Structure 1
Amino acid sequence: MDSAKYLAAIDSLCARDLTAADGEPVPYGAGPGYRIESLEVSHGTRTGDVARRMATVEDFYALKSYIAQQLDDRWGRQRPLWGMGTLRVHSDRGEEIPEPWATTSSVADDLDLWQPPGSDRWIALGVGYRDSTDEVHVLAVASDIDPV
Structure 2
Amino acid sequence: MDVVARHLAAIDRLRTRDLPAGGAGHHTVELETGRPGTAADHLHALREAMAQRLGARWGEAPPWGQLTLRLRLARGEEIPEPWATLCLRTDELDVWQAGEVWLAVGVADRDEADDIRLLATVTRTAPP
- TM-score normalised by structure 2 residue count: 0.91
AA partner of residue 87 (structure 2): S
The AA in structure 2 aligned to 1:41 is: T
Matched, 1:8 2:13: no
Question: C-alpha separation between the residues in 1 aligned to 2:42 and 2:6?
Answer: 18
Flag the structure with larger Rg.
1
Counterpart residue number, 1:124: 104
Unaligned runs of 5+ in 2: none
The answer for unaligned runs of 5 or more in structure 1 is 22-30, 46-52
Secondary structure (helix, strand or coil) at the match of 2:125 reads coil
Matched-pair contact (CA < 8 Å) for 2:24–2:125: no
**Runs of 4 or more above 4 Å deviation:** none
CA separation of 1:115 and 1:32: change in aligned 2, threshold 3 A: closer
Measured after TM superposition, the shift of residue 55 of structure 1 is 4.5
d(CA) in 1 for partners of 2:84 and 2:105? 15
What letter is aligned with 1:57?
A
SS of 2:95's partner is strand
SS at 1:127 equivalent: strand
1:87 has 2:73 as partner:
no
The Cα shift of 1:36 comes to 1.1
- Greater strand share, 1 or 2? 2
Which secondary structure does the structure 2 equivalent of 1:71 belong to?
helix
* TM-score, with length taken from structure 1: 0.79
Distance in structure 1 (CA, Å) of the matches to 2:24 and 2:112: 28
- In structure 1, how many angstroms separate the alpha carbons of the residues matched to 2:73 and 2:41? 27
Which of 114, 117, 122 matches 1:142?
A: 122
Q: Distance in 2 between matches of 1:41 and 1:55?
A: 11
Aligned residues: 127
